[in-house]
């Protein structure tokens, strides 16, 4: 979920807080605009390897995976929350989500604590640095390490941001992609490469952004075009919809309705910073605001039950307050779906 950048810099070296003054963030738009002219021409979209080999659909992985229930409510696994997460009673949360980059290769007491915790709970993964929209070739070594991590922990759902974060080095922020046909082909091709390398479908997340390098189509059309061409899933960030709708003056409900329900595999909610009435900054450092909860209710109504993940990256409150936000999500879900969270036609 996220300077004229597409999203927040949620990386291993991210500072403790990330809410700079608005002008500083907008000044960074030049980085994104400068990149708009650098998109390589990939020509016609390439068929994925599994289709070229004659498979009708993506083949199933051999490694067993654990997927959260369709109506699950989860919490982001952060190092600062390790102790309360491990001590939480059964049923306090249904699943956890982590960034693989923050845990690959971690050993010692912290690694042991992580392994013990995720052995007891379903785990999803949300990547930070694959740079699906970047121009440099995908890092195959990094992809192999991610695949090993996902297989080891039986992760069924891996997602990444629909943005880029590197250009001859890590940029430590999530930068917006031009909303153009050329960018659709470029990003979709890289998503297919990533799916082939990881041996599974992935989901991409709609990101928050504060200035776009170029918009030949609207955001909803761009997201749908990428999903269709890449044949991947969507992690729908409800807070990012709200933030973008305020910042760019579009209808959040209309954007939500334009998203393809059949591709939505998970929802994110988070808090943001109110810089001004017409400027919201996606921070993941505050409680979820009422408008975001209302939009989540709309999402449930349109999509049916989906796993929902609460993101909190810093300014951690007492753990009981985070559990209270999870309970708020459950109340919205149970009001929509009183019979155990199952909507008509949901599987």
Instruction: State how far the Cα of 100 lies from the Cα of 121, in Å rounded to an integer.
Output: 16
Question: End-to-end distance of the chain based on CA atoms, in angstroms?
Answer: 27
* Residue 264: HSE in the Cβ half-sphere, 13 Å Cα cutoff: 25
Of 172-186, 241-255, 278-292, 330-344, the one with minimum mean pLDDT is 330-344
Q: Which of 17-21, 170-174, 305-309 has maximum average pLDDT?
A: 305-309
- pLDDT category of residue 239 using cuts at 50, 70 and 90: very high
In the predicted structure, residue 132 carries a pLDDT above the cut 50: yes
Could you give the C-alpha distances from 34 to 4, 25, 186, 260, in angstroms and in order? 12, 16, 17, 31
pTM of the full predicted structure? 0.79
Fold of domain 24-35+61-336: TIM Barrel (3.20.20)
The torsion of the CA quartet 97, 101, 103, 104, rounded to 10 degrees, works out to 130
- At residue 134, the pLDDT reads 80
Instruction: State how far the Cα of 204 lies from the Cα of 233, in Å rounded to an integer.
Output: 6
Domain range summary for the chain, segments of one domain joined by +: 24-35+61-336
Residue bearing tokens 């052995």: 119
Would you tell me how many other CB atoms lie within 10 Å of the CB of residue 329?
21
- At residue 171, the pLDDT reads 53
**pLDDT tens for residues 246-264?**
998 999 999 999 999 999 9
Could you give the C-alpha distances from 116 to 75, 110, 122, 175, in angstroms and in order? 16, 10, 12, 35
């Amino acid at each position: 979920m996220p300077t004229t950048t597409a999203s927040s810099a949620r990386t291993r070296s991210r500072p403790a807080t990330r809410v700079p003054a608005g002008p500083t963030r907008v000044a960074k738009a030049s980085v994104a605009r400068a990149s708009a002219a650098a998109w390589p021409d990939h020509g016609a979209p390439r068929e994925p390897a599994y289709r070229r080999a004659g498979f009708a659909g993506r083949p199933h992985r051999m490694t067993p995976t654990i997927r959260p229930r369709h109506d699950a409510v989860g919490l982001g696994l952060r190092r600062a929350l390790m102790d309360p997460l491990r001590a939480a009673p059964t049923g306090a949360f249904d699943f956890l989500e982590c960034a693989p980059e923050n845990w690959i290769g971690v050993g010692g007491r912290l690694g042991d604590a992580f392994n013990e915790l995720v052995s007891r709970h379903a785990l999803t993964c949300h990547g930070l640095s694959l740079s699906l929209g970047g121009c440099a070739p995908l890092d195959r070594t990094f992809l192999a390490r991610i695949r090993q991590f996902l297989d080891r922990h039986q992760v069924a759902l891996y997602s990444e941001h629909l943005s880029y974060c590197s250009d001859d080095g890590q940029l430590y922020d999530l930068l917006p992609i031009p909303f153009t046909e050329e960018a659709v082909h470029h990003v979709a091709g890289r998503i297919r490469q990533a799916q082939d390398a990881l041996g599974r479908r992935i989901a991409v997340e709609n990101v928050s952004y504060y200035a776009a390098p170029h918009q030949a189509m609207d955001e909803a059309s761009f997201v749908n075009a990428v999903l269709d061409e890449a044949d991947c899933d969507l992690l729908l960030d409800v807070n990012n919809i709200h933030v973008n709708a305020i910042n760019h003056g579009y209808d959040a409900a209309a954007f939500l309705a334009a998203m393809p329900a059949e591709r939505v595999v998970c929802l994110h909610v988070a808090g943001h910073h109110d810089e001004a009435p017409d400027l919201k900054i996606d921070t993941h450092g505050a409680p979820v605001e009422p408008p975001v909860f209302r939009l989540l209710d709309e999402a449930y109504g349109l999509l049916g039950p989906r796993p929902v993940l609460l993101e909190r990256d810093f300014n951690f409150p007492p753990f009981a307050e985070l559990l209270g936000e999870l309970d708020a999500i459950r109340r919205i879900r149970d009001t929509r779906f009183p019979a155990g969270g199952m909507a008509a036609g949901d599987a």
